[in-house]
């Protein structure tokens, strides 16, 4: 029961955050708007919408049954019914987490906002009242009996039957409680366009570590410490040097936080691929590691094969990739604890390598494409797990589109409520977790309930925007031609292997592009790049997803999504214009290394360009400063002026007080504040604490 209460709370917070504060095109069922194959017949929406033709027909029937004689009022009521199809319907129909039957109608007072293009003169709520107040309507959607259900019998009513005056009517249906939120003015919502800002002149880096890591996560206590994990299976806890100091990452390489190299199978495409610290880690000591293991080497390494009869797959019929038998290697998620060491709470600096619980195990069909990143959602507290299609060029067994397969999916699990072994078995789960009850396919027998999204190829680095937790951005590595970035929405299908990027995928040697499009409602990427943009040799490109930059350090990068190519030293920053529209424009960003970098950056002879090596991943610390994790070390984004880049918004650095000790949590990092304690009291899940966004 308690868990249910918490879940409701989390959902409310999620709704508040994602629907009220920010306007992102989103439908009421949390799904992304889509472009129907055929224009809607009744509702004159075009482009991206939230209705399919069946819903459009339904709305038409509802409208006809209303039998509105007055044509002006009829046009208004039709526009109101059709707002269901608006790509911003989630904003229009949701207030304070409850779903409305009538969209928020622009009020004379509240329509003065800079978000929408329409001016204040359009007081749509007034217009609805003035035009329709005396008009008789069958089954009026405004009738209180309809507020929340379908009536049993037809009734005719006027607005004046229920509301005495315009102010009372507009009190109920008008306006928008939150400043800058969206309202319906009779026409499809269009956002006020702002001029695209100029891209910054360049990004300045400093090198603060020599180690090569795949993962970084800030300490959930909000301090200046971060965890680094390498591919072989070790995790270190390091102190981030004060910005502007000459310090480097503070930690002792010979004393890792945990050493799992005995469990981890480490090879080119295998290793420790992800790590996630529980939001409440400082208190409960729980953390999770995602890695690969080899059944031949380790008896602990065994689980169900991803190629099985449920997905019409016979392991003995798979063509082994690189001569490796299917399901010799596994992807495993294990839980460990930092308890039991001499120090407690935030001071824990090491953990025992003995597994507390096996969260997930799945045998892999091939050697490549198995993602493996794990992240706790900052708003909902659930555990997101990015899984690739399992490898083999073109996903020949169609795992990513297969609804019964967990390959090529982003999953969403609840690791706080562990069911009994019997329940796990009855439900056919892949380990010790439960299914969040608002997962998109919990009630759909055709789909695995773990699935959050389908049609991924190999999501390599996903992140939540720390200022807008509804923005879950995932970079998906391409196959032949295109590297893509997706804006993740619940239940979305991102198209692989029917689409690669924006185009239908044509398997090598096949004359035709994949022709099963009709069965898939693909959500196209929001940005990306072609292989030909970075390298003439097809195949040698691989995207590394980053973060929406939110640090104060480089104000010209603020709000831009940063990503890179793994092989080429190419870096992009994407602007979203208008803000919150999902319309991103990527620009290649020059970068260089500060001449006063704590560790000198190696550079290409005769050029200021630092040789970063392979850009494996990015990390964000508790101050939202961005790090590059590369094969040659750890680089941090610093003030542009340190590389002679101009950024007019850059302010002079605040003088660092002499003698300040960089190893103690500095005032710049938020440790637990009053705000976060309130968050704790309210929801049991801190929504505002910076350290949660790993
Ligand atoms: C969509 O509708 C608007 C207004 O009705 C119109 O201006 C625009 O040209 C249409 N766009 C397309 C692609 O049909
Ligand atoms: C619709 O309204 C007109 C008069 O306004 C009436 O004659 C007609 O019978 C109504 N139709 C239905 C289906 O109620
Ligand atoms: C768009 O927003 C700007 C400022 O944010 C505001 O000054 C302008 O009036 C808005 N435009 C419209 C058409 O509402
Ligand atoms: C509606 O009826 C009221 C009262 O009978 C009247 O004052 C008002 O002018 C009418 N409005 C319209 C638009 O007909
Ligand atoms: C619907 O019809 C039933 C039976 O005819 C009646 O008892 C009930 O009051 C009606 N409801 C409304 C809202 O008119
Ligand atoms: C809409 O305007 C009316 C006055 O016309 C006011 O009473 C009401 O509170 C406003 N509604 C909202 C939600 O702001
Ligand atoms: C998307 O952004 C580009 C570049 O900033 C701009 O030209 C275009 O108008 C935007 N599109 C929409 C639909 O706002
Ligand atoms: C990093 O490597 C460089 C070059 O080998 C060396 O000079 C420097 O001391 C190292 N720094 C750290 C912090 O390990
Ligand atoms: C770790 O310590 C916390 C706090 O005392 C406790 O709630 C938790 O159960 C412990 N975990 C393990 C695995 O012992
Ligand atoms: C659940 O965790 C326990 C302890 O690690 C493990 O023995 C068991 O196999 C796990 N169950 C599943 C289904 O993985
Ligand atoms: C892949 O699977 C989907 C979903 O089961 C199916 O609709 C589609 O036809 C399959 N495509 C191929 C090429 O096998
Ligand atoms: C930046 O400009 C200063 C002064 O003009 C110069 O000394 C320095 O070398 C320049 N730094 C870089 C990285 O170009």
What whole-number distance in Å separates Cα of residue 554 and Cα of residue 639?
5
The residue range of the domain holding 336 is 203-693
Ligand 5 binding residues, C-beta < 6 A: 145, 152-153, 155
Of the residues 125, 153, 173, which one is the last residue of a structural domain?
A: 173
Q: Indicate whether 674 pLDDT > 50.
A: no
Residues 165 and 207 grouped into a single domain:
no
Q: How far is the CA of 284 from the centre of ligand 9 (A)?
A: 5
With a 6 A CB cut-off, is 190 part of the ligand 1 pocket? Answer: no
Residues 308 and 163 grouped into a single domain:
no
Q: How far is the CA of 153 from the centre of ligand 5 (A)?
A: 6
Which pLDDT belongs to residue 106? 87
Total domain count for the chain? 2
Of the residues 173, 194, 220, which one is the last residue of a structural domain?
A: 173
Q: How far is the CA of 174 from the centre of ligand 4 (A)?
A: 20
pLDDT category at 298 given cuts 50, 70, 90 is very high
The protein residue whose alpha carbon is closest to atom 2 in ligand 8 is 210
State whether residue 49 is helix, strand or coil.
Answer: strand
Helix axes 71-82, 53-66, angle to 10 degrees: 150
- Give the tokens for residue 621: 């610390």
pLDDT category at 662 given cuts 50, 70, 90 is very low
Least confident segment among 22-31, 184-193, 503-512, 593-602: 22-31
- What is the number of the ligand 7 atom nearest to the C-alpha of 193? 14
Least confident segment among 292-296, 416-420, 442-446, 627-631: 442-446
What whole-number distance in Å separates Cα of residue 142 and Cα of residue 140?
5
Helix axes 124-132, 71-82, angle to 10 degrees: 140
Judge whether 85 and 76 are in contact, CB under 8 Å: no
Ligand 7 binding residues, C-beta < 6 A: 193, 196, 577-578, 581, 583, 585
Least confident segment among 188-197, 258-267, 346-355, 615-624: 188-197
Return phi, psi of residue 459, to 5°.
Answer: -65, 110
- Give the tokens for residue 168: 């009372």
Which pLDDT belongs to residue 610? 75
- What is the number of the ligand 11 atom nearest to the C-alpha of 398? 1
Whether residue 333 lies inside any domain: the answer is yes
Residues 420 and 503 grouped into a single domain:
yes
State whether residue 621 is helix, strand or coil.
Answer: coil
Residues 238 and 142 grouped into a single domain:
no
Whether residue 676 lies inside any domain: the answer is yes
Whether residue 190 lies inside any domain: the answer is no
Which pLDDT belongs to residue 65? 92
Judge whether 368 and 321 are in contact, CB under 8 Å: yes
- What is the number of the ligand 4 atom nearest to the C-alpha of 134? 1
Q: What is the pLDDT of residues 342-383, one digit of tens each?
A: 666 667 889 999 999 999 999 999 999 999 999 999 999 999
- Give the tokens for residue 281: 């880690």
Ranked by mean pLDDT, the top range of 30-34, 494-498, 606-610 is 494-498
- Give the tokens for residue 184: 């319906």
Whether residue 143 lies inside any domain: the answer is yes
What whole-number distance in Å separates Cα of residue 262 and Cα of residue 299?
12
Q: What is the pLDDT of residues 234-282, one digit of tens each?
A: 999 999 999 989 999 999 999 999 999 999 999 999 999 999 999 999 9
Q: Indicate whether 653 pLDDT > 70.
A: no
Q: Indicate whether 139 pLDDT > 90.
A: no
Residue among 152, 235, 275, 225 nearest 664 (CA): 225
Supply the CATH number for residue 267's domain.
Answer: 2.120.10.30
For residue 485, give every residue at least 6 positions away whose Cβ sits within 8 Å of its Cβ, in sequence order, or none. 473, 474, 475, 476, 525, 526, 527, 528, 543, 545, 561, 563, 574, 584
pLDDT-above-90 percentage for the chain: 60
pLDDT category at 679 given cuts 50, 70, 90 is very low
Q: Indicate whether 519 pLDDT > 80.
A: no
Residues 582 and 687 grouped into a single domain:
yes
pLDDT category at 543 given cuts 50, 70, 90 is very high
**H-run or E-run covering 585:** strand 584-588
pLDDT category at 672 given cuts 50, 70, 90 is very low
Give mean pLDDT, residues 392-416: 95
DSSP 8-state secondary structure symbol assigned to residue 471: E
Judge whether 449 and 404 are in contact, CB under 8 Å: no
Q: Indicate whether 663 pLDDT > 50.
A: no
Residues 168 and 211 grouped into a single domain:
no
Residues 150 and 242 grouped into a single domain:
no
Q: What is the pLDDT of residues 279-288, one digit of tens each?
A: 999 999 999 9
pTM exceeds 0.75: no
- What is the number of the ligand 1 atom nearest to the C-alpha of 47? 13
The CA-atom distances, in angstroms, between 433 and each of 383, 423, 524 are: 10, 10, 31
Give mean pLDDT, residues 128-133: 94
Least confident segment among 120-124, 450-454, 491-495: 120-124
Q: Where on the phi/psi map is residue 489: left (φ > 0), alpha (ψ -120 to 50), or beta?
A: beta
Which pLDDT belongs to residue 561? 97
The CA-atom distances, in angstroms, between 586 and each of 457, 529, 558 are: 21, 9, 14
Judge whether 385 and 410 are in contact, CB under 8 Å: yes
pLDDT category at 673 given cuts 50, 70, 90 is very low
């Amino acid at each position: 029961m308690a868990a249910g209460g918490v879940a409701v709370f989390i959902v409310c917070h999620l709704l508040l955050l994602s629907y009220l504060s920010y306007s992102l095109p989103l439908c009421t069922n949390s799904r992304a708007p889509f472009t129907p194959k055929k224009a809607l017949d009744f509702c004159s929406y075009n482009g991206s919408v939230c209705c399919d033709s069946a819903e459009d027909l339904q709305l038409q029937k509802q409208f006809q049954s209303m039998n509105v004689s007055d044509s002006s009022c009829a046009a208004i009521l039709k526009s109101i019914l059709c707002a269901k199809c608006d790509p911003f319907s989630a904003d229009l129909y949701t207030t304070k987490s409850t779903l409305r039957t009538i969209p928020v109608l622009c009020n004379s007072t509240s329509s003065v906002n800079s978000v929408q293009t329409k001016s204040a003169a359009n007081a749509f709520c007034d217009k609805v009242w003035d035009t329709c107040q005396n008009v008789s309507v069958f089954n009026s959607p405004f009738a209180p009996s309809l507020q929340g259900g379908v009536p049993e019998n037809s009734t005719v009513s006027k607005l004046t039957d229920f509301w005495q005056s315009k102010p009372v009517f507009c009190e109920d249906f008008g306006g928008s409680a939150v400043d800058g939120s969206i309202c319906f003015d009779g026409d499809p919502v269009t956002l006020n366009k702002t001029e695209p800002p100029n891209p910054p002149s360049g990004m300045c880096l400093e090198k603060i570590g020599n180690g090569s890591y795949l993962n970084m996560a800030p300490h959930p206590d909000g301090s200046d410490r971060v965890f680094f994990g390498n591919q072989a299976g070790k995790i270190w806890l390091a102190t981030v040097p004060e910005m502007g100091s000459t310090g480097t990452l503070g930690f002792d390489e010979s004393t890792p936080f945990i050493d799992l190299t005995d469990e981890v199978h480490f090879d080119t495409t295998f290793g420790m691929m992800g790590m996630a610290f529980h939001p409440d880690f400082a208190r409960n000591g729980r953390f999770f590691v995602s890695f690969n293991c080899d059944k031949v080497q380790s008896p602990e390494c065994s689980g169900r094969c991803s190629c099985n009869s449920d997905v019409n797959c016979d392991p003995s019929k798979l063509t082994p990739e690189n001569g490796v038998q299917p399901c010799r290697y596994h992807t495993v998620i294990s839980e460990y604890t930092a308890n039991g060491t001499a120090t407690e709470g935030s001071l824990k600096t090491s953990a025992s390598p003995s597994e507390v619980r096996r969260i997930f195990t799945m045998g892999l069909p091939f050697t490549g494409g198995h993602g493996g990143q794990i992240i706790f959602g900052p708003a909902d507290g659930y555990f997101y797990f990015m899984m690739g299609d399992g490898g083999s060029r073109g996903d020949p067994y169609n795992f990513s589109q297969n609804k019964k397969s967990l390959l090529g999916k982003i999953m969403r699990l609840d690791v706080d409520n562990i069911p009994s072994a019997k329940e796990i078995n009855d439900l056919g789960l892949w380990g010790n977790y439960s299914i969040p009850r608002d997962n998109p396919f919990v009630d759909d027998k055709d789909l695995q309930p773990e699935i959050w999204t389908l049609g991924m190829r190999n999501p390599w680095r996903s992140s939540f925007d720390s200022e807008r937790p509804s923005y879950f951005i995932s970079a998906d590595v391409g196959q032949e031609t295109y590297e893509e970035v997706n804006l993740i929405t619940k239940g979305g299908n991102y198209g692989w292997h029917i689409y690669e990027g924006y185009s239908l995928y044509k398997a090598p040697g096949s004359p035709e592009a994949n022709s099963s499009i009709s069965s898939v409602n693909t959500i196209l990427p929001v940005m990306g790049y072609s292989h030909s943009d970075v390298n003439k040799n097809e195949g040698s490109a691989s995207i590394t997803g980053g973060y929406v930059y939110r640090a104060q350090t480089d104000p010209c990068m603020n709000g831009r999504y940063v990503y890179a190519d793994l092989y080429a030293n190419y870096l992009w920053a994407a602007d979203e214009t208008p803000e919150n529209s999902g319309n991103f424009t990527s620009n290649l960003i020059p970068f260089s290394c500060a001449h006063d970098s704590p560790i000198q950056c190696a550079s290409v002879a005769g050029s200021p360009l630092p040789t970063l090596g392979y850009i494996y991943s990015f990390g964000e610390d508790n101050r939202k400063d961005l790090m590059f994790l590369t094969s040659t070390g750890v680089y941090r984004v610093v003030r542009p002026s340190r590389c002679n880049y101009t950024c007019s918004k850059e302010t002079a650095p605040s003088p660092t007080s002499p003698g300040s000790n960089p190893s103690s949590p500095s005032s710049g990092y938020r440790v637990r504040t009053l705000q976060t304690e309130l968050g704790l009291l309210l929801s049991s899940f801190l929504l505002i604490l910076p350290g949660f966004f790993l």
